[in-house]
Structure 1
Amino acid sequence: MAGKGRVRLVDVAEHAGVSMKTVSNVVNGYAHVQPATRARVQAAIDELGYRPNLTARRLATGRTGMIALAMPEIDHPYFGELARHVAEVAATQGYRVIIEQTLGDEAAERAVLRDREAGLVDGVIFQPMRIATLDIARLHRDLPLVLLGEVEAPVTTDHVMIDNVQAAADVTAHLLAQGCTRIGFLGMVEGDITVTNSRRLLGYQEALVRAGLPLDPRRVLTVGGFTSGDAAAAVRAAIAEGPAFDALVCRDDRFAVGALAALREAGRTVPDDVAIAGWDDSALAQWTWPALTSVAPDKHELARVAFDLLVERMGGAQGVGRHRVVRHSVSVRASTAR
Structure 2
Amino acid sequence: MARVRLEDVARHAGVSMKTVSNVINDFPHVSEKMRERVQRSIDVLGYRPNAMGRGLATGRTGLLALAFADVSLPYFAELARVLSAEAGRRGYRLLLEQTDGTIEEERAVVSSTEAGLVDGVLFQPSVISGLELAQHRADVPVVLLGEGPAPLSLDRVMIDNVEAATRATAHLAGLGRSRIAFFGHEIDSPSPTSRLRLMGYQRGLEEADLPLDMALLIPSLEISARGASASLGAALDEGLRFDGLVCRDDLAAIGALRALQERGLRVPEDVAIVGWDDISMASFTHPTLTSVAPDTLELSRTALDLLEERIAGFDGLGRHRLVSFSLVTRESAPARPR
How does the TM-score come out when normalised to structure 1?
A: 0.88
CA distance in 1, matches of 2:328, 2:302: 22
Is the aligned partner of 1:138 residue 2:120?
Answer: no
Query: What is the identity, as a one-letter code, of the residue corresponding to 1:313?
Result: R
CA-CA distance at 1:277 after TM superposition: 0.9
Q: Is residue 4–residue 46 contact of structure 2 (8 Å, CA) maintained in 1?
A: no
Query: What is the identity, as a one-letter code, of the residue corresponding to 2:133?
Result: I
- Equivalent position of 1:237 in the other structure: 234
Given the superposition, is the C-alpha separation of residues 317 and 38 from structure 1 closer, same or farther in structure 2, using an over 3 Å criterion? farther
Moved more, 11-20 or 187-196: 11-20
Q: Which of residues 120, 124, 132 in structure 1 aligns to 2:121?
A: 124
Is the aligned partner of 1:317 residue 2:319?
Answer: no
| Structural mapping, 1:86-165, within 5 Å | 86-165=83-162
Given the superposition, is the C-alpha separation of residues 135 and 44 from structure 1 closer, same or farther in structure 2, using an over 3 Å criterion? same
Query: What is the identity, as a one-letter code, of the residue corresponding to 2:50?
Result: P
Q: Kindly report the root-mean-square deviation, in angstroms, between the aligned alpha carbons of the 2 structures.
A: 2.8
CA distance in 1, matches of 2:125, 2:70: 11
Q: Is residue 13–residue 38 contact of structure 2 (8 Å, CA) maintained in 1?
A: no
CA distance in 2, matches of 1:18, 1:263: 73
Q: Is residue 29–residue 93 contact of structure 1 (8 Å, CA) maintained in 2?
A: no
Q: Is residue 184–residue 249 contact of structure 2 (8 Å, CA) maintained in 1?
A: no
Query: What is the identity, as a one-letter code, of the residue corresponding to 2:160?
Result: D
Q: Which of residues 207, 212, 229 in structure 1 aligns to 2:209?
A: 212
- Equivalent position of 1:280 in the other structure: 277
Moved more, 328-337 or 116-125: 116-125
Q: Which of residues 252, 265, 286 in structure 2 aligns to 1:255?
A: 252
Q: Which of residues 305, 325, 330 in structure 2 aligns to 1:328?
A: 325
**1:178-210 CA distances to partner (integer Å, 9 max, x unpaired)?**
111111111221244521101101100111112
Given the superposition, is the C-alpha separation of residues 25 and 240 from structure 1 closer, same or farther in structure 2, using an over 3 Å criterion? farther
- Between the aligned residues of both structures, percent identity stands at 47
Q: Is residue 112–residue 138 contact of structure 2 (8 Å, CA) maintained in 1?
A: no
Q: Is residue 175–residue 247 contact of structure 1 (8 Å, CA) maintained in 2?
A: yes
SS of the residue 2:317 aligns to: coil
Given the superposition, is the C-alpha separation of residues 124 and 239 from structure 1 closer, same or farther in structure 2, using an over 3 Å criterion? same
CA distance in 1, matches of 2:220, 2:184: 6
CA distance in 2, matches of 1:264, 1:36: 65
Q: Is residue 16–residue 41 contact of structure 1 (8 Å, CA) maintained in 2?
A: no
Structure 1, unaligned runs of 5 or more: none
Is the aligned partner of 1:52 residue 2:50?
Answer: yes
Q: Is residue 124–residue 145 contact of structure 1 (8 Å, CA) maintained in 2?
A: yes
Given the superposition, is the C-alpha separation of residues 244 and 22 from structure 1 closer, same or farther in structure 2, using an over 3 Å criterion? farther
Query: What is the identity, as a one-letter code, of the residue corresponding to 1:86?
Result: L
Moved more, 145-154 or 291-300: 145-154
**1:51-80 CA distances to partner (integer Å, 9 max, x unpaired)?**
7343x3232111111111111111211111
Q: How many matched pairs?
A: 329
CA-CA distance at 1:15 after TM superposition: 12
Q: Which of residues 268, 271, 280 in structure 2 aligns to 1:271?
A: 268
Q: Which of residues 56, 59, 71 in structure 2 aligns to 1:74?
A: 71
CA distance in 2, matches of 1:43, 1:89: 26
**1:283-338 CA distances to partner (integer Å, 9 max, x unpaired)?**
01111111110001111111100000111111111211111111111001111128
CA-CA distance at 1:38 after TM superposition: 7.9
- Equivalent position of 1:179 in the other structure: 176
CA distance in 2, matches of 1:294, 1:27: 44
Query: What is the identity, as a one-letter code, of the residue corresponding to 2:68?
Result: M
Q: Is residue 70–residue 76 contact of structure 2 (8 Å, CA) maintained in 1?
A: yes
Given the superposition, is the C-alpha separation of residues 246 and 24 from structure 1 closer, same or farther in structure 2, using an over 3 Å criterion? farther
